[in-house]
Amino acid sequence: MNATNKTLIIVPAYQEEANILRVLEDIQANLPQADILVINDGSTDLTGSLARSAAVKVIDLPFNMGIGAAVQTGFKYAWENDYSEAMQIDGDYQHPAEEGPRLLQVLAEQKADLVIGSRFISLTGYKASWARRTGNRLFQWVNALIVGQEIIDNTSGFRAYSRRAIELLAQTYLGEYPEPESIGYLKSRGCAIIEIPVKMRHRTGGRSSITPLRSIYYMVRVLTSILSFNKKSRR
């Protein structure tokens, strides 16, 4: 199947009625040529209907399955509908879409498979919590050890993906914490990964899923899931 020259913006959203409209407006203003797909991950609030009112494509998961399954649904859609590249922008309004074209530009120019928008590479004006920084440092070591490339912001969900990455991630479920895991997975499949600095907003509505106590739980689970990198296909 030949991919046409299309870009799909995948927006995973769970209970984001406070943010979804401004997220979509932001994307429509900054990436007007791209198609937008909202994956409504079993929200019980108005996330789904608000997204539909913004005239974008919405796929409703029948129940809440977590970010990993939501984003994978987006990759499956992108693969089936011949998108040549995809970008993930989370539904919580932390990722500024104005940085999107730059991610796509690097993806195309440097023939990368994954471009990560990093909030830690200098001059981005972002101060992460202590828990997030410590967790990230741990992922840095582990990923550097396993994949031989230093990635600074392993947990960033602001990313652009090539057709090849779309294919791999449509076929492979990356657990409930797909961001750090996908780096090692894609690298083990010979994909090229590039990280560039981006500005990020602090979240305003809702709560971050990462708190100090939970981050320990999070780290243990991610480290466990990283063990299964070399398994051929996990669907």
Tokens 């990093």 belong to 118
Is the Cβ of residue 59 or residue 210 nearer to another protein in the bound state?
Answer: 59
Where along the sequence are the contacts to another protein (CB under 8 A)? 57, 59-63, 65, 69, 72-73, 76-77, 80, 173, 234-235
CB of 40 to another protein, least distance (A): 9
Which is nearer to another protein, 6 or 199 (by Cβ)?
Answer: 6
Beta strands in the chain (DSSP E): 7-13, 35-40, 57-60, 85-88, 114-118, 159-162, 193-197
Which residue, 62 or 190, is less far from another protein as judged by CB?
Answer: 62
Closest CA to 113 of 185, 199, 171: 185
User: What is the Cα–Cα distance from 18 to 31, expressed in whole angstroms?
Assistant: 21
**Cβ nearer to another protein, comparing 25 with 80:** 80
When the beta carbons of 54 and 192 are compared against another protein, the nearer one is 54
3-state helix, strand, coil in the chain (%, to 5): 40, 15, 45
CA distance 77 to 182: 18
State the helix-helix crossing angle for 20-30 and 100-109, rounded to 10 degrees: 50
Minimum CB–partner distance for residue 69 and another protein (Å): 5
Shortest reach from residue 65's CB to another protein, in Å: 6
Q: How far is the CB of 58 from another protein (least distance, A)?
A: 8
Minimum separation from the CB atom of position 59 to another protein (A): 5
Nearest approach, Cβ of residue 118 and another protein (Å): 29
Nearer to another protein (CB atom), residue 5 or residue 233: 233
Distance from C-alpha of 33 to C-alpha of 134, rounded to nearest angstrom: 38
Contact 93, 14 (CB under 8 A): no
Q: What is the DSSP letter of 42?
A: S
